[in-house]
Amino acid sequence: MKKTINLTKAGKAELEKELAGLIAERPAIAERIATARAFGDLSENQEYTDARAEQKNVENRILEIQETLKNAVLIKARKSDKVVIGATVNITMSGKKFTYTIVGPVEANPLEGKISHESPIGKELLGRKADESFDFNGKKVKILSIE
Q: How far apart are CA 9 and CA 124, in angstroms?
A: 24
Contact assessment for residue 22 and residue 123, using Cβ atoms and an 8 Å cutoff: no
Instruction: Return the amino acid letter for 57.
Output: N
pLDDT tens by residue, 80-129: 889 999 999 999 998 899 999 999 999 999 999 999 999 999 999 999 99
Q: How confident is the model at residue 45 (pLDDT cuts 50, 70, 90)?
A: confident
Q: How far apart are CA 2 and CA 52, in angstroms?
A: 31
pLDDT tens by residue, 54-89: 999 999 999 999 999 999 999 876 778 899 999 999
**Which residues, at least 6 apart from 62, have a Cβ–Cβ distance to it below 8 Å?**
19, 22, 23
In the prediction, which pLDDT does 43 show? Answer: 72
Query: 115 pairs with which residues across the strands?
Result: 102
In the prediction, which pLDDT does 1 show? Answer: 56
Q: What is the pTM for the complete model shown? A: 0.78
- The mean per-residue pLDDT over the stretch 6-23 comes to 94
